[in-house]
Structure 1
């Protein structure tokens, strides 16, 4: 028996070609009704590019998704920084919402409970807290900043560069204003 068959078959009943497996379906008027998987596949089977297992699993998992905000699928390169921005880990943002994200890393790594997530391509930066974790994937919730002093990594680097340029100019100005003896 396939995973999808076990998932949809009512308890104690044998799967009989999709006739017994049921799922909730939302109609165009917004009402919900129960429909057998066989009827769902028959109704949508003529659609071009229809993959019954994938499409039906997406519907079922959406029923169990109790997030406050809708998560949009994404494929964005990001960085996780911690230890006062001295440690950096590359990751992928796989889905994103206003309140959180799902991140995937190439290798399992130990991370602190709170850290910073930056998406350089979009110029976005968040303070994040781990919500759940498995070996390579990580769910985070974005933490509102307590103070208005949070600065993105790019801004911090630029500030540091400008401060060093200012110090170099001040030193040069001091050298120029010294009287020649």
Structure 2
């Protein structure tokens, strides 16, 4: 059993989950998710660089991935596109979701393979640090790419990217400095109160 548990794709060490009130952010994003009436749901996490979008996305992934047939997290997408590594991202996605090492020779070929392979699966997908809607188009082109119940999270600094991908205001979570500070301070206070109560 232990060997099987070790294979599970936890991405955020448990000791880091308290940072910046991550649990509170996860609950707020899950609330957005619960309001969706779509069979396939796209949720955007938007905020300035360094605000903790990736940490929030990892924590959400850890919280939800067992409810899905297949899952994948693709990080630093914008940077990898700048280095012309888009095919590498598509190959990683096919390995994670389709368990396939099929060669991909063009973005269009990759789109076709991903779309036809994923549309029968309930998928959890995190697309991190996206800076252009074309990147989402190459990896998660639309609701018809996924099976019912699939959820796709997109993190970005640019709200316009999310709007260009067809997300509405109600599908966008704004990670702000204020939120991080408030939740972080609240959790520090709770930790101090707990410590005081047992000493």
Q: TM-score, normalised by structure 2?
A: 0.20
Q: Which has the larger strand fraction?
A: 1
Q: TM-score, normalised by structure 1?
A: 0.22
Q: Which has the larger helix fraction?
A: 2
Structure with the greater relative contact order (CA < 8 A, sep ≥ 6): 1 or 2? 2
